[in-house]
Amino acid sequence: MITLSINGKDHEFNDDGDMPLLWALRDILKYTGTKYGCGKGLCGACTVHVDGQPIRSCVMPVSAIAKQKITTIEGLSENGDHVVQQAWQTLNVPQCGYCQSGQIMSAVALLERNAKPNDQEIEQAMSGNICRCGTYQRIKEAIHHAADLATEVKGS
Amino acid sequence: MKQIENVSRRGFLKKLGISSTALVIGVQLPSMLTIPKALAGVVGSDKFAPNVYVQIGIDNIVSIVVHRSEMGQGIRTSIPMIVADELGADWQQIAVVQGLGDKKYGSQNTDGSRSVRRFYQPLREAGASARMMLQQAAADQWQVDVSETTALNNNIVHEKSGRSLSFGSLVNAASKLKVPERSSLILKAKKDFNFIGKSDVALVDGEKFVTGATTYGFDVELPGMQYAVIARPPVLGAKVKSFNSEAAKAIAGVIAVVQLPDLEEPAVFKPLGGVAVIAKNTWAAMKGREALAIQWHESEHQSYNSDSYKKALAASCDNPEKVLRSKGSVTKALAEAKQVITASYYVPELIHVPMEPPAAAAHYHDGIFDIWACTQTPQSAQGTVAQITGVAAENVNINVTLLGGGFGRKSKPDFIVEAAILSKQLNVPIKVMWSREDEIQNGYYHAVSYQKLVAGIDDNNQVTAWQHHVAEPPIGSTFSKGADLIGSEADLGLIDMPYDIANVSCAVGKAPAHTRIGWMRSVTNINHVFAVSSFVDELAQAKGLDSKDNLIAMLGTDRKIDFSNENANYGNYGETLSKFPVDTARMKAVIEKVSAMAKWGRTLPKGRGLGIAMHRSFVSYVACIVEVSTNSDGKIKVEDVWLAVDCGLAVNPERIRSQMEGAAIFGLSLTFFSELTAKNGVIEQSNFDGYQVARIADAPTTHVEIIDSDAPPGGIGEPGVPPIAPAICNAIFNATGKRYRELPLKQYGIV
């Protein structure tokens, strides 16, 4: 048995330890905000945080995680008001929205290690996240906007 | 059941500087299982439901049915904008309800860029008739003339006396009135619109998108549901020879192994056949599938190899089967021409890759199907499930989830039928999920194409002859086995070539299909416009003219083109030419607009170039200019894209801009990266490593302007795509002097 700590809550996991975290989250524990896109770590739709680091949950076996803290899109904020979530809404970033959980998780991780990323740093950090609808331009703007918001919050 | 949450009360929005007029709502959808069936069909005494799109409750909540599928185009926001505007509704007291698949809504087939184009008028009328009945009910109560009343923010107001009644309080009285005749409806004037044409309406699903609270086809969970993946034939039409059911069942969590009926072509929307593995969870099902060790029989389509097929298409262009447009004598004009220009263009087979592959959950019980799916076309899903399972269509309930992208893939309901067959056979709720490999290797493909163009230029530097031959496998082959000539695909950028040329011939060659051919965002416009708009630019070069000046010159005098005068049977996207003419003045206007936006003609640094292209599709006009740069390694980057769009009246300008931004990326992906190849009938690519699409570092800055127009609304989801590829290649030519005629450009090592 493996205990998974997800969004601050412990869950007992009794299934195949080889199961990628993605399917454990979605099928077993019903956190469906984390999406399947490729199953090979190529598209980033399944991005979650493990101890604050962005990882591709579709290629991460549950057995490799135990005890570390997992954060999914559902656990990013109490009321959907994380600065990145705010910025995403302000700029109407999503089109179909499917990849956006992964995009947001990657963006949050970026801003946590680099409060004011430039365009190039954003492109580097977000290069693993595909958006087929093509919202990249707004993602970039929203990350800059979130960085500004975070500074304002700190300053006020 | 539905809670309306006024997001705008939140401090953070104020802090972000959103004006107080910005209307932001988040509608808390009920869980999947409690989605009301055929909402508008069941009307309680506490509801006023004058038509299938609108219901008003005594609680003053206005429910608006969105009968079209949301796949990123923003229709769940745009339809309520249209209805609410005519109704005089308060945006913050609206509940958006996704319509079940049901003929009563009219067509729900969300493709062809038709949602606003076809439903703008009916939806306005739906709002107006509800509003007029509420006005009448209030006027009766006040004993005043109805013309003295107005609707505002869910109230009927009598300004003279300062009285007002909420919609909710008028429900009972309005329900007793006769629905007004269509001819008597009074629609709002454009100047009085509150929502239509406004850019400050936030996305209905905006908050749910960013909190992971949305439900897509992949996300549907039903009590007792089992998870299925299917091993489908690697070559179209290959039948199962053998498989190891026991090995699959030996995997922990695997519940059942079911062989599906083999496919008999034509494929239509039937399942492809193969073997399904049903398990307690997706992972177990996938592992079980790997253990099947399926052997397949041979298929006639294993002769399909992309290299030799390309050569066959080229040969077919030299020997066309059918002329689809002809005017004058191209042969004579070419013989008399001072210069003859020829060029060939190739676009490979492509696939949609929506971020969410197809998925559907079906529950067969008590002779009824309850189905949830990310479908673009719930009525086709209903009809096909009924036909194949033998369950009457009225007992097939299709609930439409959000779609994680569609691009045409999800208007083919084969995956929904798979779930239905399995649930009926196993008597449990089943969710069928397609892996990315399944989606890429078992799709409905965008046809590979070869095109040969010839033009003659006379002594006066005029283009006097235009010959365009195309060979590409037809969509018709998916519906009629052996079909090898395109039909209405020719209307998409081939026979509607708008340039004013005295002698024209457009013809098509045979091309037998070896995969399921389908339609993908803007369809054959992609191929044809790449060729036509590249070739027109080559003619500018041959004539020694500036690319933009040449476009304007070749369009000739302002006119409305009727291609039937040139022996062409042009479908005009199902619209009449009187309502949606092919208007060269509007073409010129978008070219002039985009040229001003991009400052066409400015001096550029070395290694930079601008390219231009224009096309009318889905009855909207789009002109595009691209700026590219080259670095010291000879690699090309698209720096900026400018798009001027005339789509008639713009209902939701904010989502029009986002569709244009997305079209630029979609076009860039297929120009730079995307290519499918077949070897012995098997698609060789299987995931985003082999089938590449644009990533964030590839993305240009896209600038969009919308022409102000009172013409009827045209399409918007697709028309942005076709001009992108030729504009990029024209820009590369202007930057480097090199002309690229085959996509994708990655084969040349320049991207």
Locate the domains of chain A by residue range. Answer: 2-75, 83-155
In this structure, CATH architecture of domain A2-75: Roll (3.10)
**pLDDT confidence of B7, banded at 50, 70, 90?**
very low
Pairing state between β A2-6 and B295-296: unpaired
**How does pLDDT run across B412-469, given as a tens digit for each residue?**
999 999 999 999 999 999 999 999 999 999 999 999 999 999 999 999 999 999 999 9
Summary mean pLDDT of chain B? 94
Mean pLDDT calculated for residue range A83-112: 98
Strand partners, A142: none
Single-letter amino acid code for the residue at B716: I
Residues of A in contact with B205 (CB under 8 A): 94, 97
**Which of A27, A96, A140 minimises the CB distance to B282?**
A27
B221 at A interface, C-beta within 8 A: yes
B253 at A interface, C-beta within 8 A: yes
In this structure, what token pair is assigned to residue B618? Answer: 């889905």
Comparing alpha-carbon positions, the chain A residue that sits nearest to B71 is A96
Query: Hey, are the CB atoms on B355 and A94 less than 8 Å from each other?
Result: no
**How does pLDDT run across B83-119, given as a tens digit for each residue?**
999 999 999 999 999 999 999 999 999 999 999 999 9
pLDDT for res A155: 65
Q: Residue written as tokens 């001003």? A: B596
Summary mean pLDDT of chain A? 96
CA angle B168, B401, B71 (to 5 degrees): 100
B374 in Cβ contact with B577 (< 8 Å)? no
**How does pLDDT run across B247-288, given as a tens digit for each residue?**
999 999 999 999 999 999 999 999 999 999 999 999 999 999
B77 at A interface, C-beta within 8 A: no
Domain ranges, ordered by start, for chain B: 3-211, 217-299+358-433, 306-351+444-748
**Which of B71, B663, B697 minimises the CB distance to A127?**
B697
Query: Hey, are the CB atoms on B435 and A129 less than 8 Å from each other?
Result: no
Residues of A in contact with B695 (CB under 8 A): 127, 129-130, 136
**What topology is assigned to A83-155 in CATH?**
DNA polymerase; domain 1 (1.10.150)
In this structure, CATH architecture of domain B306-351+444-748: 2-Layer Sandwich (3.30)
Residues of A in contact with B433 (CB under 8 A): 36
Q: Where are the beta strands (DSSP E) in B141-218?
A: 149-152, 155-158, 163-166
CB-defined contacts A:B, below 8 A: 199
Query: Hey, are the CB atoms on B354 and A96 less than 8 Å from each other?
Result: yes
Q: Write out the DSSP string of B641-659.
A: EEEEEE-SS-S-HHHHHHH
Angstrom distances, CA of residue B738 to CA of B539, B558, B733, B750: 15, 33, 5, 11
Tell me the pTM: 0.95
Query: Hey, are the CB atoms on B355 and A37 less than 8 Å from each other?
Result: yes
pLDDT for res B45: 66
Q: Residue written as tokens 């919308």? A: B706
Mean pLDDT calculated for residue range B555-566: 98
Mean pLDDT calculated for residue range B689-702: 98
Instruction: Give CA torsion, residues B559, B561, B562, B564, to 10 deg.
Output: 130
Q: Which helix (H) or strand (E) covers residue A122, if one does?
A: helix A119-125
Residues of A in contact with B282 (CB under 8 A): 23, 26-27, 36
Query: Hey, are the CB atoms on A98 and B405 less than 8 Å from each other?
Result: yes
Mean pLDDT calculated for residue range B200-227: 97
pLDDT exceeds 50 at position B4 = no
Mean pLDDT calculated for residue range B194-217: 96
Residues 412-451, chain B, touching A (beta carbon < 8 A): 433, 435-437
**Which of B210, B214, B218 minimises the CB distance to A89?**
B210
Cα–Cα distance for residue pair B453/B331, rounded to 1 Å: 13
Pairing state between β B149-152 and B155-158: antiparallel
**What topology is assigned to B217-299+358-433 in CATH?**
Aldehyde Oxidoreductase; domain 4 (3.30.365)
- Cβ-based neighbours of B439, under 8 Å, separated by 6 or more: B351, B352, B353, B354, B357, B358, B409
B375 in Cβ contact with B69 (< 8 Å)? yes
Task: Provide the CA B102 distance to its chain's centre, in angstroms.
Answer: 21
**How does pLDDT run across A38-84, given as a tens digit for each residue?**
999 999 999 999 999 999 999 999 999 978 999 999 999 999 999 99
pLDDT exceeds 60 at position B638 = yes
Query: Hey, are the CB atoms on B697 and A123 less than 8 Å from each other?
Result: yes
Angstrom distances, CA of residue A124 to CA of A106, A107, A110, A127, A141: 11, 11, 10, 5, 15
Q: Where are the beta strands (DSSP E) in chain A?
A: 2-6, 9-13, 47-50, 53-56, 69-71
Angstrom distances, CA of residue B315 to CA of B226, B312, B449, B531, B678: 50, 5, 12, 17, 19
**A153 CA to chain B: closest CA distance, Å?**
10
Query: Hey, are the CB atoms on A137 and B16 less than 8 Å from each other?
Result: no
**A24 CA to chain B: closest CA distance, Å?**
9
Angstrom distances, CA of residue A38 to CA of A62, B23, B195, B359, B372: 18, 36, 39, 14, 22
In this structure, what token pair is assigned to residue B220? Answer: 């549907």
pLDDT for res B572: 98
**Mutate: best of B355, B376, B660, partner A, most A CBs <10 A:** B355
B77 in Cβ contact with A89 (< 8 Å)? no
The DSSP 8-state label assigned to residue B482 in this structure reads: T
Q: Write out the DSSP string of B76-101.
A: HHHHHHHHHHHHT--GGGEEEEEPPS
Query: Hey, are the CB atoms on A98 and B654 less than 8 Å from each other?
Result: no
Cα–Cα distance for residue pair B188/B86, rounded to 1 Å: 6
Residues of B in contact with A31 (CB under 8 A): 212
Q: Residue written as tokens 């493709």? A: B111
Query: Hey, are the CB atoms on A134 and B219 less than 8 Å from each other?
Result: no
Query: Hey, are the CB atoms on A26 and B353 less than 8 Å from each other?
Result: no
**pLDDT confidence of B44, banded at 50, 70, 90?**
low
Cα–Cα distance for residue pair B447/B478, rounded to 1 Å: 12
Query: Hey, are the CB atoms on B433 and A96 less than 8 Å from each other?
Result: no
Residues of A in contact with B15 (CB under 8 A): 149, 152
Mean pLDDT calculated for residue range B625-640: 97
CA angle B261, B410, A38 (to 5 degrees): 90
**How does pLDDT run across B302-339, given as a tens digit for each residue?**
999 999 999 999 999 999 999 999 999 999 999 999 99
Query: Is CATH 3.30.365.10 the right assignment for the domain spanning B3-211?
Result: yes
In this structure, what token pair is assigned to residue B206? Answer: 């905006």
Query: Hey, are the CB atoms on A97 and B404 less than 8 Å from each other?
Result: yes
For chain B, give the percent of residues with pLDDT over 70: 94
